[in-house]
Amino acid sequence: MVSLADLGEVTVEANPEDITPAVVREWVRGGVNRVSLGVQSFDDAVLAWMHRTHSATQIAAAVQILNGEGVSNHSIDLIFSVPESLNRDWSRDLDLALSLSPGHLSVYGLTIEPHTPLGRWKARGEALESPEERYEAEFLEADSRLRSAGYLHYEVSNYGKPGMEAVHNSSYWQGVPYLGLGPSAHGFDGRRRRWNAREYARWVDLTSAGRDPMEGDEDIGPAERAAERVYLGLRTTSGLAATEEEFRFAARWIDAGWAERRGDALVLSATGWLRLDALAAALTSR
């Protein structure tokens, strides 16, 4: 009998408080061979502000359990550029993350979206986004520190030790079809994206009734495909397979140190990734 693990990478996304020896043993028995931990920060004040239910001390305990149960392939998620009022020490968070020696780290800048609790706090003046200068400084510090520690900064938000890059993440950026199962899951068949009902109760009602739990979908037409080719290509160190016309257009980016030409690929630098949205839009609309 073939197990899921025989088919490749099988990742569970979990929070540190979810991790117990019994739970991890069940995951491994079911074929799981990789765990992504939603750590976010090692600062208890930041975790409380984020309404996370784990403490900083639970993070190291979770990693110890994973290692003890044979899941050495695990990833840590961190969030940078939190409001300055929290007095979070980003360098300390990087120190503590590196001390756990994860195979992979994902580092995301905090964004404040409308119609979310954080967006409402901002509207009431209870939360302020960090200045762009601090966002840039913390992103570049992570890039420098993690690369110096032997991690490959292989995608704008992702770092992996050699051979530990996330297979499923890489598939998204390459436009590979994928199947989404469960509440709020997204799928892509190469031409159309679809997403399931977000609320668990509604998803259960639909599936129990034998109905498709799809909540929405969109066709990826020629214009969208062209834009995604540029945006997804520029996200990674594989770069965008560019035409000579595109290289000529991007010459000023190369001169500014935001990109470089590697054979037939246009590859952004760390400072270029900070301008990813603007550069991709400029190249798409030229």
Quick check: 212 and 206 in contact, CB under 8 A?
A: yes
Instruction: Give the integer Cα–Cα distance in Å for 76 and 258.
Output: 27
Going from the N-terminus, what domains does the chain have, and what CATH number goes with each?
4-166 (3.30.750.200), 174-219 (no CATH), 222-284 (no CATH)
Report which secondary-structure segment, H or E, holds 74.
Answer: strand 74-80
Nearest to 129, CA basis, from 142, 116, 140: 116
* ∠ Cα 166 132 102 (to 5°): 25
* Cβ-contact 14, 38 below 8 angstroms: yes
Instruction: Please report, in angstroms and rounded to a whole number, the separation of the first and last CA atoms in the chain.
Output: 53
Instruction: State the residue for tokens 């030790």.
Output: 161
pLDDT by residue for the chain (286 residues), tens only, comes to 545 556 678 889 999 999 999 999 999 998 999 999 999 999 999 999 988 999 999 999 999 999 999 999 999 999 999 988 899 999 999 999 999 999 999 999 987 655 555 545 555 555 556 678 999 999 999 999 999 999 999 999 999 999 999 988 888 888 888 888 889 889 998 889 999 999 999 999 999 999 999 999 999 888 888 898 999 999 999 999 999 999 999 999 999 999 999 999 999 999 999 999 999 999 998 7
- Quick one: pLDDT at residue 6? 62
**CA 142, 146, 147, 149 torsion-angle sign:** positive
State the pTM of this model.
0.86
pLDDT of 162 = 95
Whether residue 148 contacts residue 162, with contact meaning beta carbons closer than 8 Å, is answered with no
Residue 125, token pair as written in the block: 């003046």
Q: Give the burial class of 218: count Cβ atoms within 10 A of its Cβ; 0-12 exposed, 13-18 middle, 19 or more buried.
A: exposed
Closest to 33 measured CA to CA, from 154, 161, 159, 167: 167
What is the model's pLDDT at position 276?
A: 95
- Measured distance CA(123)–CA(8) in Å, rounded: 45
pLDDT of residue 67: 96
- Rounded to the nearest 10°, the torsion over CA 140, 99, 104, 24 is -150
Contact 62, 109 (CB under 8 A): no
Q: How far apart are CA 51 and CA 208, in angstroms?
A: 32
